Amino acid sequence: MFRKLSMCLLAVACTGAAYAHDHAAHQSTTYSVPNPLRPGAKAPYCEAQPETTDGCTFHSVAGGTYSAHLSAGPGERWVAIPSDADTVKVQAPAAQGQGYQVIELKPNPAQNADATVTFDKFSGDAKLIERRRITVMIHPA
């Protein structure tokens, strides 16, 4: 019985030390926006890039409209699928034939929410050839 008690006390001591280490590491982390609990908080800003890349974030303030720029070759097209159609509306024009496609994103300004938009790139024969996911962080006015 003494042996089992000793093992339990040792396990508790190790767990406490591990927690203290994780807490100290978290205190030294800096974030690009004050709230690290939002999934896109540390992601690169989509608007600052010439082409919308996988994992970037649009920060929506006061109900703006945002453009996702996606490269498309001959016979290729992008389809945008929001995780919640009430949170982000998608307006996808036809491919411009200029080597890229622009998809307009209109977040709902009444919500303080994060939404994921999945962009699927299809070839002429409807074969999925690429997938990108971005986050839209909506900050109401």
Q: What is the pLDDT of residues 32-63, one digit of tens each?
A: 445 556 666 778 888 888 999 999 999 888 76
Count of domains forming the chain: 2
**What integer pLDDT is reported at residue 117 of this predicted model?**
93
Q: What's the CATH code of the domain at 87?
A: 2.60.40.2020
Q: What is the mean pLDDT of each run of 10 residues along the chain (141 residues)?
A: 61 55 47 57 85 91 85 89 90 69 87 88 89 89 68
Instruction: Say if 37 falls within a structural domain.
Output: no
Verify that 71 and 8 share a domain, yes or no.
no
Buried-exposed string 73-94: b where 16+ CB fall within 10 A, e elsewhere = eeebbbebebeeeebbebebee
Residue 126 located in a structural domain: yes
Q: Of the candidates 135, 134, 121, 128, which has an alpha carbon nearest to the alpha carbon of residue 54?
A: 134
Residue numbers of the domain that contains 108: 46-139
Say whether both 122 and 69 belong to one domain: yes
The pLDDT of residue 26 is: 46
Looking at the structure, tell me whether residues 61 and 118 fall in a common domain. Answer: yes
The phi and psi torsions of 15 (rounded to 5 degrees) equal -65, -40
Do 114 and 62 lie in one domain? The reply is yes
| DSSP-derived 3-state class of residue 90 | strand
38 within some domain: no
| Domain identity same for 2 and 57 | no
Give the number of other Cβ atoms within 10 Å of residue 21's Cβ.
Answer: 10
Radius of gyration of the chain from its Cα atoms, rounded to whole angstroms:
22
